[in-house]
Chain A
Amino acid sequence: MMRVAEAKLATTGRTLFLAALMLAVAAATGALKPAPQTPRAAPDLEAMLPQSFGEWREAPIPDAVLPRELDLKPGEAIAYRAYKDAAGRVVTLVAAYGPPLGDSVRLHRPESCYVAQGFEIRSRSVVPVILRGADARIVRLVASSPTRDEAVSYWLRSGPEFVASPAAAQFQAFNGRLHLDGALVRASSSGRDDVLFDLHQSFLADFAAALNPEARKVLLGQPDETES
């Protein structure tokens, strides 16, 4: 009977110790936790995309593979454009922005978007490029369906960095780089020629060069004061 009472006492002490530990963690994280951010208003991507840049002029959007099941959360934005150059070549552009703490932009990753719509990713490569004087990475994809091929080039910005895989973006978050917003800029054309990727590269470089400071911040993550 003695031992039962002792055990009860020990358990009570232990329980209070564990409960105190939990309460301490709750209090500490409650204090550390950033105040719930009310998402800033989504950037007006439609207004930010230039109507023309370099040799490119805005054109009606052709039958392009666009993200489906769109359900924008607060702070998110997406815009579509098609541009035509003097030679009549058409490139479809998708620009998307996701506020910090969302994984929406990673959801719009072209790989999954195309695969979900019946395309197969035939090839994938990452090329380093310089956009407005800053190092960036562009992912090139060839996506094929039985009826058509698409050449796709995109950059995915996660915070200040350009990431080429969703796992890399997730890893960033564990690496002390929290609260990253993100943006996706995707150029695509019908076909699978390597020429198209060169075209995309100059298209994207011209596009980046033509962005106003606000759009540059949203899509490239370059701070306002950086004049390249």
Chain B
Amino acid sequence: MPRGFQLNISAPPTSWSPALVIGALLAAWGALYLPVYVEFAEGAWRRDENAHQPFIMAIAVGVAWSALMRGDFRFVAGRTGFVCGALVLCTGLAAYALGRTAEATLLLSASQGLVATGLTLALFGFKGLVRLWFPLALSFYLIIWPAWALEALTSPLKRLISEWVSAGLFAAGLPVSHAGAVISAGPYQLLVADACAGLNSLIALTAVGAVYLYAVKRRSWRVNSAVILSLAPIAIAANAARVAILVLITHYLGYDAGQSFLHETAGLVMFAAALGGVFFADWLAALFWEKRR
């Protein structure tokens, strides 16, 4: 039997173990995380920087489910896989226990990925882990970072974006200058807030980009890495463009116009443009590298 041990999750109904396997795991997961998700839904997930997380989770669950339900998913962990997986699971459960009792959201949210990885490894072995790598990798986006860690990341970004925008507009002959994250356009002063610096959309954009890459399934690793590397620059450039547009709106139409619905619309337009940029980068990279194959 070349395929060795097998587990057919979608086995005929005469077999009771798949239902038991899935049911027991779902119950255990629910016991661990349902109260946590209720808590997150009332707090952490409501904040802008985490708002994408429930969607990422739904995508990860959907992708994992469709992978598990495929007829050729017949992996069973060997002894090593089971022991390694159980160890990862225990690490995850330790992070969970510490995070839950100490109210350390970072640990609590990070435990999701560890628990899921440990379970996958312990049940389906390394081959199963490889097959499910993508939904498991998505769990990285489920981590809720503490405010000071995000701030360490956003404030250089805010300064950089303010600098580029003011330098660019000044070079174009507009009376624009900046100090820190505050841009002065003529008589107006604009504060580049966290939300504007686009860290939120940057995270969401890399997630969408990753899902897109997974969905189109290009075989060339070069195309994939080119697109992955382009995600952050595209997101930052898009947000710089957005801030520039807002400065221009403020300069020509006044402060109120810059804070009106145009503020939100500019954000949406820029997210769409950034997504277009990702597709374009993908198309370009594919054109460049996949022709030679």
Contact = CB atoms under 8 A, between A and B. Distances in A.
B97 A118 contact: no
B35 interface: yes
A8 B97 CA distance: 31
B103 interface: yes
B101 A33 contact: yes
A212 interface: no
Contact of B151 (A33, A101, A112): A112
A166 B25 contact: no
A32 interface: yes
A202 interface: no
Interface string B98-129: 00111110000000000100010011000000
Contacts of B24: 15-16, 19
B236 interface: no
A69 interface: yes
B191 A103 contact: no
Contacts of B32: 22, 25-26
Contact of B89 (A18, A145, A178): A18
A7 B7 contact: yes
B181 to A, nearest CB: 6
Given A12-B21, A146-B179, A22 B93 contact: yes
A145 B183 CA distance: 12
B82 interface: yes
A25 B111 CA distance: 12
Contacts of A21: 28, 86, 89-90, 93
A21 B27 CA distance: 12
Contact of A19 (B15, B28, B148): B28
Nearest to A22: B28
Interface residues of B, number: 49
A117 B93 contact: no
Interface stretch (A82-90, A127-135, A154-162, A167-175): A167-175
B100 A7 contact: no
A145 B189 CA distance: 13
B147 A106 contact: yes
A11 B24 CA distance: 12
Interface in B232-273: none
B27 A23 contact: yes
Interface in A101-127: 101, 103, 106-107, 112, 115-120
Given A26-B28, A119-B180, A170-B146, A14 B123 contact: yes
A16 B27 CA distance: 11
B17 interface: yes
A174 B94 CA distance: 13
B179 A115 contact: no
B20 interface: yes
B148 A103 contact: yes
A28 interface: yes
A11 B96 CA distance: 24
Interface in B1-27: 1, 5-7, 15, 17, 20-21, 24-25, 27
20 contacts: A11-B21, A11-B123, A15-B24, A19-B27, A21-B89, A23-B27, A25-B93, A27-B31, A29-B96, A29-B101, A30-B35, A69-B193, A103-B147, A112-B155, A116-B193, A117-B180, A117-B181, A118-B178, A118-B189, A120-B180
Query: Across chains A and B, which 7 residue pairs bring their CB atoms closest together, nearest first?
Result: A118-B182, A22-B28, A26-B31, A19-B24, A118-B180, A118-B179, A7-B5
